[in-house]
Amino acid sequence: MARAPNVHICEVAARDGLQNLDVFVPTEAKCELIDAIAAAGISEIDAGSFVPPKVVPQFADVDAVMAHAVQHKSATIGALVPNFKGAERAIAAGVGAIYFVISASESHNLANVRRTIEEQLEGFRAVRTALDALPIAGRPRLMGAIATAFGCSIEGQIKEAAVGRLARGFAEAGADEIGLADTVGYGTPGLIKDIVRVARDEIGSQIPLRLHLHDTLGMGLANAVAGLDVGIRRFDAAVSGLGGCPFAPGARGNVVTEDLVFMLERVGLSTGIDLDRLMQTREILARHIAPRHLTGHLHEAGIPKALRSAA
Ligand code: COA
Ligand code: ZN
């Protein structure tokens, strides 16, 4: 009998994975990707960003993509928003989760959303108020996503206290969950543990913490293990290792979902994800995206199916 999942994975290829590409992935292909991800048993999908099309043209079709995505009842469909207007659009689209992003780095925050951290927190509070006015049944979960929590391509090292302060700010403003994002992938296992502990000390034990890892230095999986060691059971990841922030040059893609799932299952944890089906998403991506953007050890190793399914 299948074990109950004890690690939660949110698939971010349809958002983080696409936002930095120089090609527009057709709407039907985005929908097909989301369908394939849902069919593999992923229970949360970050399906796009509600940003102005002139800022990120890839999401010019986000309303159409979301209208399709929210039909999936087996998965929570979420969206990244950078401001109140984005949250209003996400609510209107019927999403189940809103990821509101603020960077721990003041410089990255200004580059990314053209606001100070404090202004951005004001926006977050306004979103909380708007959500609280909705009936509980249809109310999306609100995540406070801390970008550049483990380093910044503009400022370099980020002070632990800056991450702690922002985590507390999100918690006090009523975040349902807080995400720690290694936006540029400068994190190392020791740093991951330190920052998770700092954030946990600030927010207490009630609000779930999530890790969002990029593989810039090849440490994505090691960082995930470090997260597991300090109690993290919620991760973002992207199929075929897609990903990168347009306002954080030099970042590589997200930790590869296929590799993460394989590793977690091999160490005895359970994700509830069908790895074989998940790997089929590569075919959809390969039709539209250049091979250099598509990574993943499991794909490259071509290991036998029997070993994969025994994972
Ligand atoms: N969706 C659609 N349109 C939006 C919008 C949103 N979420 N937010 C603002 N707009 C529109 C405004 O209505 C306004 O339109 P108008 O010119 O027709 O009046 C215009 O965009 C400018 O609004 P303003 O509030 O001044 O935005 P800005 O130019 O200061 O940009 C952000 C701020 C946050 C919208 C922009 O920096 C952004 O989208 N950043 C996100 C970047 C990103 O996706 N990074 C990667 C993920 S971490
Ligand atoms: Zn990212």
Could you read off the pLDDT of 80-123 as tens digits, one per residue? 999 999 999 999 999 999 999 999 999 999 999 999 999 999 99
Residue 234 φ/ψ region, left for φ over 0, alpha for ψ in the -120 to 50 degree band, beta for the rest:
beta
* % of the chain beyond a pLDDT of 90: 93
Which residue puts its alpha carbon closest to atom 47 of ligand 1?
Answer: 245
Residues 231-275 pLDDT 10s: 999 999 999 999 998 888 888 899 999 999 999 999 999 999 999
- Mean pLDDT score of the chain, rounded to an integer? 96
Amino acid identity, residue 247?
F
* Token digits of residue 149: 């929590």
Whether residue 245 lies in the annotated active site = yes
User: Which domains can be identified in the chain, with CATH numbers?
Assistant: 8-310 (3.20.20.70)
Please indicate whether residue 114, judged by its CB atom, sits closer than 6 Å to ligand 1: yes
Please indicate whether residue 86, judged by its CB atom, sits closer than 6 Å to ligand 1: yes
Name the nearest CA neighbour of 191 among 228, 213, 160: 160
Which residue puts its alpha carbon closest to atom 13 of ligand 1?
Answer: 85
- pLDDT value of residue 310: 55
Confirm if 288 and 22 have CB atoms less than 8 A apart: no
- pLDDT value of residue 303: 77
Report residue 229: phi and psi, to 5°.
-60, -30
Name the nearest CA neighbour of 233 among 257, 258, 209: 209
Weakest mean pLDDT among 1-15, 209-223, 266-280? 1-15
Weakest mean pLDDT among 44-53, 134-143, 214-223, 239-248? 239-248
Check whether 45 has a pLDDT greater than 80.
yes
pLDDT band at residue 2 under the 50/70/90 scheme:
low
